[in-house]
Structure 1
Amino acid sequence: MYLKSILTTVSLLVGLVSPTFGQSSTLTKDAKKPNILFIFADDWGWGDLSCHDHPYVKTPNIDRLAKEGSDFTRFTVASGVCSPSRTAVMTGHFPARHNVDGHFAWVPNNEQRGMPDWVDTAAPMLPRMLQGAGYKTAHFGKWHLSNNMIPDSPSPAEYGYDEYGAFNCSGEQMPYDHDARRTIAFMKKAQAENSPFFINLWIHEPHTPFHVIPKYRQMFPEITNDADSIFAATLAYADERVGQVLDALDELDLADNTLVIFTSDNGPARPKEGREPGLSYDSATGAGFDVGAAMGLTAGRKGFKASLYEGGINVPFLVRWPNKVPANKIDNDTMISAVDLLPTFSTLAGAELPNGYQADGYSQVEALLGTASKTRTKDLFWKSTNRFSDPSKSEHWASYAVVSDKWKLLTNQDQSYIELYDIVADPLEQNNLASKDPETSQMLTKKLSNWIATLPTKPTGNVFSDLRKK
């Protein structure tokens, strides 16, 4: 029934997504499938764009996507940290369904937290579905669905990519800034083969270490503070590489038939107050400045990276598809989730979903095209490894959260403390309504408990490194 619904949606929408708008209402073998370029930044906060009024960061190339497309301000990822957020994008599932509640680290740490050592290669995976629909698939940039410290973890190729260059994975680590050039080369190759393409461009910035090239710091002579200068330069370099890819789409005459999305895996990291930038080393990307230079902004949203408040999960979401997605539009209402991306991309690609597969999200094609209802029809859930006991001392206390209609509830590990917000009227989470609306609090607590009961208690499958035996 779910597959039939998806295919029906494709048939209804093909007249909108086809260059021959209005001339066809059914999906045909001759319909030109859109290319999909998914740009996933790392720790890029909602306020870290010049089009979002950052006080000194300049992102003219990424801003193009907002000017030439739509800016969805209510998009949320499925976690406040990296690996679970990426798992949700690629599987269409809440990451807790795969026991991925935190970032993939070295084996003893994964084992201690009840996590697998990598995402199961047998899990439903977006690139594999798109391969089945005739797409050439590629991944360039950060991986982190395993870790480079786990040498026997599967390579990205085992998840459905025809080509990849990556870091935070097993094997050779691609230099982090080779992402754009590899992406452009793959676009040219797919075009030569007359094939639609799906590319993950998962950029490193602005995650630590900050790899700063001096000429980019020279772009901001007015900034005298080291941390701000490092941060601005880091984002400027990332923005330039995004611009190279967008320019290549224009030069190859591919832009009009390419859906481009820019977003982030979670909100920005922040150092403890007063910490100055120091040096650090990452085994996947090399040496650079540490978290002391993490000056990301949430534009008033509460919390930062790892928090289940909006500052940790509400991130930029810019969508461009010329003559399909409305241009220069800001959408402050539509609630889109990372778990919606797989069904959305699959719908656009005409991809067949695996037997029995059920996404936790749903296709948002109509929302992207500006024709959908603003009301979200599926609840959203979060599970985190956060264990802070005193909410007054940390914004990383919530272990669970749920969004249903206009309501968002956060709770700690044993559900002894809750907060309730009208997330539509109060997107910055300033007014806790838990004591004023016990009926809604109880309803959402029950929804959350029912969802938790569906989750696996431990990882299963081929998801453990041989290092565990040692």
Structure 2
Amino acid sequence: MFKWVTLSLIVLTLCFSGFASAEKPNIVLIFADDMGYGCAGSYGDTGLVPTPNIDRLAAEGVRFTDGYVTGPACAPSRYGLLMGAYQQRIGVQGTWDAYVNLQDGKPRDTPENNRVPSTHKMVHQTLSGAGYRSAVVGKYNLSSYPKTTFDEGHSVMMFAGDYFPDETGYYGGVGYMLAPGTYKRILWGPERPGDEYLTDRLGRQSVEFMEREHERGRPFFLYLAFNAPHSPMQAKKEDRKVVEHLETEATKMYGAMLHSMDENIGKVLDALDRMGIADNTIVAFASDNGPSFAYRVDWPENWPRELLGSAGPLRGHKGMFTEGGIRVPYIIRWPDGLQAGQVYERPVSTMDLYPTFCAAAGIPIPETTKLDGVNLLPYLRGEVEGDPHDVLYWSIRNRGAVRQGDWKLYVDGKPQLYNLANDIGETTDLSKQHPEITRELNQKFQAFLEMQPPKLYKGKTPFD
């Protein structure tokens, strides 16, 4: 099922660059959950809550204006991120494809035998094979859950997790499958003094892992995958003061969850400073998709139905192939390897992080692992001009999008064409004015669909 065909988008399978550090850099990959493009101050300052630590990363690193995920929903986005390749190549198109073998809470996949073939090594496996110690802290959302292919796992979740523990100390959805009907409560907590907020727990466990590996003198790869600000809508009472200015209760809840995530990103950055290893540590930050509506919560009748978070100037939200669903905050900081304060304005993808990390560490990609991602370091250092990708693709079933340069084809029924340089909000369909571009991009999109194996999930979905 794992078939690879030659397309113009397939690029480097070895990732070396002209830069080589005397020591392998530590790598911290931070992935937010359902955080919109406009939710960080450095991406538009929409008036939600301050995000000083995300903004600090942007100021001290490279901020990408056109950073994309590989899918507009949690699971496919995470497959593409860790594989460094289009997740459609293994039959993962939508979130449902990550659950097809996880029925009744009984995983049928194992880390050794799952839908990502053993011949294709994910980024953490490649790094671990080269001497790194890898850990996932938080939301995994890949097959074989609750087991993972990382060296360590802490507070591992599939789709979501309760932010406060129950009276026995367990966090719903952490370490096991969520039971139907769970995480519906909207809550300002804790209900019991001393209960640890899950976002704080993820921050603490991340710092503990980094400190332990630093003491042992070996490089580490930390994948800190927050479930914030994804539902359930549960926040800390002490953060109410931070969101007093927000109008609705739902927005206040979202803002408080976002604030806590930013605080814990700050704890990670402070720990790197304290250990004296910040300069040779790569910290990458992105969100898994655009902003969303709350899932499965007991939404009060007197609350207006509203999008939680902001896509800024972009159109759409999670689950959509408009920019608001797939363009996200995207930052890389590496003081020893990249000039601070850069703003990079050409299209990149989260699948580029895999070869970029390997290039920074001087690690070759395994021969049987085929990437669609591109090593970004030569582009960020001015050594190579032009776009890292000739074309980028997105799809679920027969819907999706194609971006080539500033042109974007949006396919949901009749194809629509937009020029993102002049129309970031995708307000004016130019397909009639430019039929040749529309036809060319649509042909490329159809070729992308044709190279894919069948979807894994055989049931009905909102995309059918």
Q: TM-score, normalised to structure 2's length?
A: 0.79
The structure in which a higher percent of residues are helix is 1
Q: Please say if 1:249 is aligned against 2:272.
A: yes
Q: Please say if 1:120 is aligned against 2:116.
A: yes
Instruction: After superposition, give the CA deviation of every residue in 1:151-206 in whole Å (9 maximum; x if it has no partner).
Output: xx34443x243444311179825945421111111111211221111110001111
SS in structure 2 at match of 1:48: coil
Q: 1:343 aligns with which of 355, 358, 369?
A: 355
**Distance in 2, Cα, partners of 1:353 & 1:134:** 14
**Distance in 2, Cα, partners of 1:73 & 1:277:** 36
**Distance in 2, Cα, partners of 1:293 & 1:417:** 28
Q: Which amino acid aligns with 1:379?
A: V
SS in structure 2 at match of 1:229: helix
Instruction: After superposition, give the CA deviation of every residue in 1:297-334 in whole Å (9 maximum; x if it has no partner).
Output: 11120110110000000000122111432222323x22
In the TM superposition, residue 119 of structure 1 has moved relative to its aligned partner by 4.1
In the TM superposition, residue 219 of structure 1 has moved relative to its aligned partner by 2.2
Aligned position for 1:149: none
Checking the alignment, whether the CA contact within 8 Å between 1:400 and 1:410 is kept in structure 2 is: yes
Q: Please say if 1:73 is aligned against 2:65.
A: yes
Aligned position for 2:175: 172
Aligned position for 1:58: 50
Higher RCO structure, 1 or 2 (CA under 8 Å, sep 6+): 2
Deviates more, 1:417-426 or 1:206-215: 417-426
Aligned position for 1:140: 137
**Distance in 2, Cα, partners of 1:336 & 1:4:** 13
Structure-2 change in CA distance of 1:458 and 1:236 (3 Å):
closer
**Distance in 2, Cα, partners of 1:121 & 1:179:** 29
Structure-2 change in CA distance of 1:62 and 1:94 (3 Å):
same
**Distance in 1, Cα, partners of 2:68 & 2:243:** 31
Identity %: 32
Aligned position for 1:201: 224
**Distance in 2, Cα, partners of 1:110 & 1:405:** 39
Aligned position for 1:304: 317
- Aligned pairs for 1:290-329 within 5 A: 294-329=307-342
Checking the alignment, whether the CA contact within 8 Å between 1:58 and 1:232 is kept in structure 2 is: no
SS in structure 2 at match of 1:141: strand
**Distance in 2, Cα, partners of 1:5 & 1:233:** 41
In the TM superposition, residue 411 of structure 1 has moved relative to its aligned partner by 1.4
**Distance in 1, Cα, partners of 2:97 & 2:453:** 21
Aligned position for 1:388: none
Checking the alignment, whether the CA contact within 8 Å between 1:78 and 1:94 is kept in structure 2 is: yes
**Distance in 1, Cα, partners of 2:261 & 2:80:** 24
Deviates more, 1:424-433 or 1:82-91: 424-433
SS in structure 2 at match of 1:64: helix
Q: Which amino acid aligns with 1:340?
A: D
- Aligned pairs for 1:369-384 within 5 A: 369=381, 371-384=383-396
Unaligned ranges ≥5, structure 1: 19-30, 147-152, 280-289, 386-397, 465-470
Q: 1:423 aligns with which of 399, 405, 420?
A: 420
Q: Which amino acid aligns with 1:167?
A: M
**Distance in 1, Cα, partners of 2:240 & 2:305:** 16
| Cα RMSD for the two superposed structures | 3.2
**Distance in 1, Cα, partners of 2:276 & 2:328:** 30
Q: 1:94 aligns with which of 86, 99, 108?
A: 86
Structure-2 change in CA distance of 1:108 and 1:381 (3 Å):
closer
Aligned position for 1:192: 215
Checking the alignment, whether the CA contact within 8 Å between 2:92 and 2:455 is kept in structure 1 is: no
Aligned position for 2:402: 402
Checking the alignment, whether the CA contact within 8 Å between 2:28 and 2:224 is kept in structure 1 is: yes
Deviates more, 1:206-215 or 1:221-230: 221-230
**Distance in 2, Cα, partners of 1:291 & 1:353:** 49
**Distance in 2, Cα, partners of 1:363 & 1:167:** 29
Aligned position for 1:432: 429
Structure-2 change in CA distance of 1:399 and 1:291 (3 Å):
farther
**Distance in 2, Cα, partners of 1:139 & 1:381:** 27
**Distance in 1, Cα, partners of 2:421 & 2:363:** 33
Q: TM-score, normalised to structure 1's length?
A: 0.78
Checking the alignment, whether the CA contact within 8 Å between 1:227 and 1:295 is kept in structure 2 is: yes
